[in-house]
Amino acid sequence: MGPEEITAAAAVIESGHIAEGQVVKEFEDAFARKMDTKYAVATSSGTAALHLTLLAMGIGSNHEVIMPSYVCAALLNAVRYVEAAPIFAEIDPATYNIDPGDVKKRLTRRTRAIIVPHLFGLTADLDKLLALNVPIIEDCAQSVGGNFGNKPLGAFGDACIFSFYATKVITCGEGGMVICNSKKLANRIKDLKAYDQKDRYETRFNYKMTDIQAAVGLAQFAKLDAFIQRRRTIAQKYFRAFQSLSLRLPADDPAHIYYRFVVGLNTDIQLLITKLVQKGIGCARPIYLPLHHCLKLTGYPITDNTWRTSLSIPIYPSLSDQEVQRVIEAIVGA
């Protein structure tokens, strides 16, 4: 963040209107235009965005929602909020994204949606997933600004959710967004996200974004292309430096925005994490714990092995060239 975000937030505070208002609408409109969709609805978080989307799609008890196990717990939480059954799928270890072939095996008459994270900034195999003819909710929390073919990610599913948490590609501190091309779906999400001043009562939520958050989001949004370019520049430095090492490297895909740069070993990654942390390099497993572990399930060997052997190293846009070199030297020397 920089002076642009400070100026934008200060202007909203000075205006006296700090709750959801015109600035949120401007953020929604800018997002819809950029993502080539008709509607955008801002929310208080990415989890709220997914929760509302599931509700608006009529998903609830006696329904199943397929998602990868190799993803953060927010997806699992949202599915359980609506009392649907989470069904976990394996990933493609080359891309870290959900495996369409494994998804196909897990489809039942109760399946109502597939949540498709474009994990770490790399596009999932949308062609094969869309061919399954099941409603898709894209999760672009880690891939805002990415593309599939000539269209932005988020424009392919029935809906798409985004997160603007502090560590995401762009941030409002907290916040989220849903985009879609269905007026009915968008209106239902808008209705559910605000509980007050409604003629007909039903259980609704307080999932609104503030104008302060939206102002920061707009300032960040203006920097998105520069953020992605910097991430790609750092990624190419890593590719050149690590190509001769015995590391599993990410897909070198021109569409990748490199939200994370994930490397892998043929053994448990913990020893390398310890060595790098001792050298002052912040790093960790990119997923804290696969979701099937949370529910005490077994039978996901690819996910388990990927979790055991994968490491995320620094690649955020404000990383200086000198700091990038420190990361490279630490890994090469490990």
- Please report the pLDDT score of residue 166 as a whole number: 96
- Please report the pLDDT score of residue 97 as a whole number: 98
- Please report the pLDDT score of residue 236 as a whole number: 97
Instruction: Assess contact for 91 and 302: CB atoms under 8 A.
Output: yes
Helices (H) and strands (E) in the chain, counts: 13, 11
Phi-psi region of 15 (alpha: psi -120 to 50; beta: other; left: phi over 0): alpha
Looking at every residue in the chain, the average pLDDT score rounds to 97
- Please report the pLDDT score of residue 334 as a whole number: 83
Average of per-residue pLDDT across 3-9: 97
Q: Is the pTM of this model over 0.85?
A: yes
Question: What residues does 249 pair with on adjacent strands?
Answer: none
- Please report the pLDDT score of residue 14 as a whole number: 97
Per residue in 144-174, pLDDT (tens digit) is 999 998 899 999 999 999 999 999 999 999 9
Q: Does domain 225-333 have CATH number 3.10.180.10?
A: no
Q: Does domain 3-221 have CATH number 3.40.640.10?
A: yes
Give the distance from CA 83 to its chain's centroid.
22
Question: What residues does 177 pair with on adjacent strands?
Answer: 42, 162
Per residue in 124-143, pLDDT (tens digit) is 999 999 999 999 999 999 99
- Please report the pLDDT score of residue 23 as a whole number: 98
- Please report the pLDDT score of residue 100 as a whole number: 98
**How would you class 31 by CB atoms within 10 Å of its CB: exposed for 0-12, middle for 13-18, buried for 19 or more?**
buried
Place of tokens 């997914």: 50
Domain with CATH 3.40.640.10 in the chain: 3-221
Average of per-residue pLDDT across 284-308: 97
Per residue in 20-50, pLDDT (tens digit) is 999 999 999 999 999 999 999 999 999 999 9
- Please report the pLDDT score of residue 150 as a whole number: 86
- Please report the pLDDT score of residue 244 as a whole number: 92
Encode 126-148: b = buried (16+ Cβ within 10 Å), e = exposed.
Answer: beebeeeebebbbbbbbbbbbeb
Rounded Cα distance between 168 and 307, Å, is: 21
Per residue in 186-242, pLDDT (tens digit) is 999 999 999 999 999 999 999 999 999 999 999 999 999 999 999 999 999 999 999
- Please report the pLDDT score of residue 207 as a whole number: 98
- Please report the pLDDT score of residue 75 as a whole number: 98
Average of per-residue pLDDT across 86-101: 97
Query: Long-range contacts of range 318-325, CB-CB < 8 Å, 24 or more positions apart?
Result: 319/234, 324/234, 324/237, 324/238
Domain with CATH 3.90.1150.10 in the chain: 225-333
What distance separates the 2 farthest-apart alpha carbons in the chain? 66
With a cut of 90, say whether residue 78 has pLDDT above it. yes
With a cut of 90, say whether residue 303 has pLDDT above it. yes
